[in-house]
Structure 1
Amino acid sequence: MADSIKDKVIRIIAEQAVVEPSDVTMDQTLEDLGIDSLGLVESIFAIEEEFDIQVPFNANDPTDSEFDISSVAAIVRAVEGLVADQKA
């Protein structure tokens, strides 16, 4: 069976954090995982490529973005929403 959106997002985040996907929990923040601003941008690019979506993300001011990066769960929800919008 194909990986779910959640599994793919966690794999991308785990790669950036240099940890196993099983070590990533939904309530963690990117900061918890040791992902800095450059890692965040690389994660966003990887997510866009993996799902063929455009993430509305302002790298200069992540807090002023439509893309919620407050936790792994928030990122998964945001990606699921963008993928659903793309299919609509």
Structure 2
Amino acid sequence: MTQSVQERVIAIIAEQAVIDPSEVGMDQTLEDLGIDSLGLVESIFAIEEAFDISVPFNANDPKESSFDISSVASIVAAIEGLVAAQAA
């Protein structure tokens, strides 16, 4: 069975946070999960590799990026959008 985008993103985030995917809530922030700025960048790279996409994220100035990292749900929604755009 193929994992959904949400399941794959949560698995990547959970791996970075060194927790079980079941512990990742959609309303949590990466900070809530104990992921620091380096962990964020590593998560973005892992997501890009997993989905073969380019995430519009500026690691030098995350607040200036058009990529919403405010919660797990916003990250999942953004990745779903990028995956759909790539498929179109």
* TM-score in terms of structure 1 length: 0.99
Aligned partner of 1:9 in structure 2 is 9
Q: Name the SS of the counterpart of 1:19 in structure 2.
A: coil
CA distance in 2, matches of 1:67, 1:11: 19
Aligned partner of 1:81 in structure 2 is 81
Deviation at 1:65, TM superposition (A): 0.6
1:18 aligns with 2:51: no
Q: Which runs of 5+ in 1 are unaligned?
A: none
Deviation at 1:46, TM superposition (A): 0.2
CA distance in 2, matches of 1:42, 1:82: 18
Alignment: residue pair count: 88
Q: Name the SS of the counterpart of 1:74 in structure 2.
A: helix
CA distance in 2, matches of 1:84, 1:64: 23
**Alignment deviations for residues 29-59 of structure 1 (CA, whole Å, 9 cap, x no partner):** 0000000000000000000000000000000
**Alignment deviations for residues 37-86 of structure 1 (CA, whole Å, 9 cap, x no partner):** 00000000000000000000000111111110000000000000000000
Residue identity (%):
76
The Cα RMSD (Å) is 0.4
CA distance in 1, matches of 2:43, 2:37: 10
Q: Which amino acid aligns with 1:73?
A: A
1:57 aligns with 2:65: no
